[in-house]
Amino acid sequence: MRASLIQIAVDEGEPVNSRRSRVASLVREVSARDGSDLVVLPELWTTGAFAYESFAEEAEPLEGPTYEAMAKAASDAGVWLHAGSVPERAASDGALYNTSLVFSPEGELAAAYRKIHRFGFDKGEAVLMAAGSQLVTVRTPATTLGLATCYDLRFPELFRGLVDAGAEMFVVPAGWPERRREHWRLLARARAVEDQVYVLACGTGGTHAGVPQAGHSVVVDPWGEVLAEAGDGEEVLTVDLDPAKVAATREQFPALKDRLLGQAPPPRA
């Protein structure tokens, strides 16, 4: 299985419509050039994850312009496409969500994941957006993807939930800032090692809303080895993955079997 992560540079000088068509073209070009089975884009690449004032302005219904452009790009390219996330204005409750979209090679929506942990504490995304409440996995012919977004990476219990739901590959779009780049690199490897899965973590480059982005999209294997890592500009990482390595790693080093599943945690001394 071949995966390509497209680390987009999100700079505010580029209008959202131009970036949307540019990214759709990139999905087609990269898939054709590299023979990718799965293409991954970052979090909130239309606005930038820190461009809080643009969220409401650029919000889209689920089946909005980004959905349409990405569904078409996936079917034109014939790839599974994790299209990163969009600021979604929900038809049901009018709330704003940070929603990831995954399309099948036929251009059908395979899954939508609303980010559960919103970043910003008492400002930014944490107050502007509503929280998702459901774990989402996607069964593809090659593997089962577990979905998470950016700040979610700091919450290992979410990923354990995805493992229990059958995930073998975590796909994590992000808009992580340069200032905490080492947290990003560390946490991506930690999630891979503790859950014995592949981690495909795709961030943004560039600077928006005055926040330089970390870049450093990374692919980690179930043993914690970094298979590929980007720099801080716009860049494509293409990597061959062996889904069977997940089961092999879990058999060779069966630490997941030692979890205290269904038991209360040990009492305090």
Ligand X SMILES: NC(=O)CCC(=O)C(=O)O
- Selected catalytic residue, list 58, 115, 202, 235: 115
Residue 101 CA to residue 44 CA, distance in Å, equals 11
One symbol per residue from 25 to 44: x for binding ligand X (CB under 6 A), - otherwise; what is it?
------------------x-
The piece of 65-73, 170-178, 191-199, 227-235 that touches ligand X (CB under 6 A) is 170-178
Q: Kindly provide the b/e burial profile for residues 80-96, where b requires at least 16 CB atoms within 10 angstroms of the residue's own CB.
A: bbbbbbbbbbeeeeeeb
- Selected catalytic residue, list 43, 58, 88, 235: 43
Q: Minimal distance in Å, beta carbon 235 to ligand X? A: 19
The piece of 133-141, 161-169, 171-179, 235-243 that touches ligand X (CB under 6 A) is 171-179
Residue 151 vs 159, nearer CB to ligand X? 151
- Asked whether position 176 contacts ligand X by CB under 6 A, the answer is yes
Our answer to whether residue 43 is catalytic in this structure is yes
33 Cβ contact list (under 8 Å, min separation 6): none
- Asked whether position 181 contacts ligand X by CB under 6 A, the answer is no
Residue 80 vs 151, nearer CB to ligand X? 151
Our answer to whether residue 150 is catalytic in this structure is yes
Residue 233 CA to residue 217 CA, distance in Å, equals 10
The piece of 130-138, 175-183, 240-248, 251-259 that touches ligand X (CB under 6 A) is 175-183
- Asked whether position 49 contacts ligand X by CB under 6 A, the answer is yes
Q: Minimal distance in Å, beta carbon 174 to ligand X? A: 6
Give the one residue of 48, 84, 177, 222 binding ligand X; rule: CB under 6 A. Answer: 177
Residue 103 vs 176, nearer CB to ligand X? 176
One symbol per residue from 100 to 129: x for binding ligand X (CB under 6 A), - otherwise; what is it?
-------------------x----------
Q: Kindly provide the b/e burial profile for residues 216-243, where b requires at least 16 CB atoms within 10 angstroms of the residue's own CB.
A: bbbbbbbebeebbbbebebbbbbbebeb
- Asked whether position 154 contacts ligand X by CB under 6 A, the answer is yes
Our answer to whether residue 60 is catalytic in this structure is no
One symbol per residue from 133 to 152: x for binding ligand X (CB under 6 A), - otherwise; what is it?
-----------------xx-
- Selected catalytic residue, list 58, 88, 125, 150: 150
Residue 154 vs 160, nearer CB to ligand X? 154
Q: Which residues bind ligand X (CB under 6 A)?
A: 43, 49, 119, 150-151, 154, 175-177, 180, 183
